Amino acid sequence: MSIVPKETIEVIAQSIGITNLSPEAALMLAPDVEYRVREIMQEAIKCMRHSKRTTLTASDVDGALNLRNLEPIYGFASGGPIRFRKAIGHRDLFYTDDREVDFKDVIEAPLPKAPLDTDIVCHWLAIEGVQPAIPENAPLEVIRAPAENQIYQQKDGPLIDIRLPVKHVLSKELQLYFQKIAELTMSKSNPSLFKEALVSLASDSGLHPLVPYFTNFIADEVSRGLNDFLLLSNLMHVVRSLLQNPHIHIEPYLHQLMPSVVTCLVSRKLGNRFADNHWELRDFTANLVALICKRFGNTYITLQSRLTKTLVNALLDPKKALTQHYGAIQGLAALGHNVVRLLVLPNLEPYLSLLEPELDAEKQKNQMKSYETWRVYGALLRAAGLCIHDRLKIFPYLPSPSPSFLNKGKGKIINTEPNKRKLSVDSSSTMQVDKPMGDDNPPQNSVQPSSSGQASDGAPESRNAKEKEGSKGRAITMKAILDQVWKNDLDSGRLLVKLHQLYGDRILPFIPSTEMSLFL
């Protein structure tokens, strides 16, 4: 039984000019009409839900008809629900109330504005900080107006209601807290109180409203105080405390903090006194950069790539000062051994070739320049040494090499047969001395006393057999590990040889002696 009565089918047939439709045909068409209407309405409800609305409109029905490749119904707008009236004498028949309109009145009436559907249009609010002069943006005179909620009228356009941003209100306690922290950061008279302030910044809750003020304060003071070493050091400690505070959501302000942090890492000059230890500040800032990348690298996937690009450009730029190169090296080293292996080691040989003339004390008479060169050289040595040490740590422990296996003077593998024979002769002679005196062939069934001086003749032979088996197993283990080391994906052996060629014996403290015996 269909919910659509046959009378409705008859009325629809009469409206399109079919006057001889039989009641039996109308009764058979009613279930099919109900099925089609249900299908269209279900698709319309899907369109409504995808539009995040709870009211079904005519546009949803048009969308459902388009999905079914049917022509949409014209003449209906989505302004509001359509009003239906109940037909007199029919319980289940409804019709739309269309009032009669005089054709003359329609002709003489002014043309209304064309109805527009809701749409989204994209435009630029600002391009690199400059607002484009397009009709969608409000004029600059309106934005700069001091009055609140001022209504401005564009030329040949509608009224625009401009609402200025609401002022950020801070409590007096937070204002006093910010002022006190700023005073302690800029003053160098009370370091103990400043340390307590750093602990407060790293642990206190409720400081999130002050984060934009701290970021602006740090950015301004870093840009103005590059000659004040103590101020820069205090500012970097403030940044670390803010990053350590678990109650602060600092991610939206990283774009303001990172330029200040990178400036303290690769700036040409930090401080204006010879006693200022800017090397220590660069080391601290490098660890700070590594902390930021470790904590927010998964959230901002381009953070570390952009940072490493900046540091590599600073390192490979010959016009940069050696202090800037040192900061770049320390920053790349703090980001991890993989960064050093992929970005620093490929450029190590050409960079050292340019740095070598500066290392010669006879050619370089400027002591300050020579000191900076050796600092950069030491930073590169440490980064490369820790990288190769990290690569060699993945291999299992190797037994210590024998004195005949390693020549300590030249650092090369020596494995000569005459030495082995000589060692076996010496060992056999010592074993003969240890044999007990007395009967050469004691009875097999006789019981010997359990004294240290009366050992059996088979003891030296068993020890020789065990030593041979141990040396064979050690040789097999070394061969397996050598095969693993010299794989193309690890390439640790070639890297170690290359670093030894570049640095000589200076690289040896970073390498355990067991691994060194395999390659050098």
Separation of alpha carbons 324 and 118, rounded Å? 55
Residue pair 61/44 in contact (Cβ under 8 Å)? The answer is: yes
Separation of alpha carbons 41 and 47, rounded Å? 10
SS3 96: strand
For residues 485, 486, 489, 490, the Cα torsion angle rounded to the nearest 10 degrees is 40
Q: Hey, which residues does 161 pair with through a beta bridge?
A: 151
For the chain, state the CA radius of gyration: 43
What DSSP line would sit under 320-343, residue for residue? Answer: S-HHHHHHHHHHHHHT-HHHIIII
Residue pair 245/207 in contact (Cβ under 8 Å)? The answer is: yes
The predicted pLDDT at position 179 comes to: 92
Higher pLDDT pick, 62 / 460? 62
Residue pair 303/293 in contact (Cβ under 8 Å)? The answer is: yes
In the chain, the domains with their CATH numbers are 1-78 (1.10.20.10), 175-394 (1.25.40.770)
Pick the range with the lowest mean pLDDT from 90-94, 98-102, 400-404, 510-514: 400-404
Query: Is residue 409 predicted with pLDDT exceeding 80?
Result: no
Separation of alpha carbons 206 and 211, rounded Å? 10
Rounded to 5°, the CA angle 208-209-215 comes to 80
Pick the range with the lowest mean pLDDT from 152-156, 167-171, 391-395, 470-474: 152-156
pLDDT, tens only, 302-312: 888 899 999 99
**What per-residue string of b and e applies to 332-370 under the rule 16 or more CB within 10 Å gives b?**
bbbbbbebbbebbbeebeebbeebeebeeeeeeeeeeeb
Separation of alpha carbons 188 and 217, rounded Å? 17
Separation of alpha carbons 95 and 8, rounded Å? 10
Residue pair 209/174 in contact (Cβ under 8 Å)? The answer is: yes
What DSSP line would sit under 177-220, residue for residue? Answer: HHHHHHHHHH--S-HHHHHHHHHHHHH-SS-GGGHHHHHHHHHH
With bands split at pLDDT 50, 70 and 90, how would you rate the model's confidence at 86? Answer: confident
Pick the range with the lowest mean pLDDT from 89-93, 368-372, 425-429, 464-468: 425-429
Rounded to 5°, the CA angle 247-250-254 comes to 165
Query: Is residue 414 predicted with pLDDT exceeding 70?
Result: no
The predicted pLDDT at position 452 comes to: 39
Short-list 441, 465, 438, 443, CA closest to 454: 438
Residue pair 280/241 in contact (Cβ under 8 Å)? The answer is: no
Tokens describing residue 42: 């279900």
- Write down the residue that tokens 């642990």 correspond to: 203
pLDDT, tens only, 307-355: 999 999 988 888 888 889 999 999 999 998 888 888 888 888 888 888 8
Residue pair 404/414 in contact (Cβ under 8 Å)? The answer is: yes
Tokens describing residue 30: 């009613």
Separation of alpha carbons 518 and 415, rounded Å? 12
Handedness of CA 214, 219, 222, 224 (dihedral sign): negative
Pick the range with the lowest mean pLDDT from 87-101, 119-133, 173-187, 421-435: 421-435
Quick one: 315 exposed, middle or buried, by C-beta within 10 A (0-12, 13-18, 19+)?
buried
Cα 127 to Cα 124, 135, 141, 252: the distances in Å are: 7, 15, 18, 20
Query: Is residue 98 predicted with pLDDT exceeding 50?
Result: yes
Averaged pLDDT for residues 76-94? 71
Query: Is residue 466 predicted with pLDDT exceeding 70?
Result: no
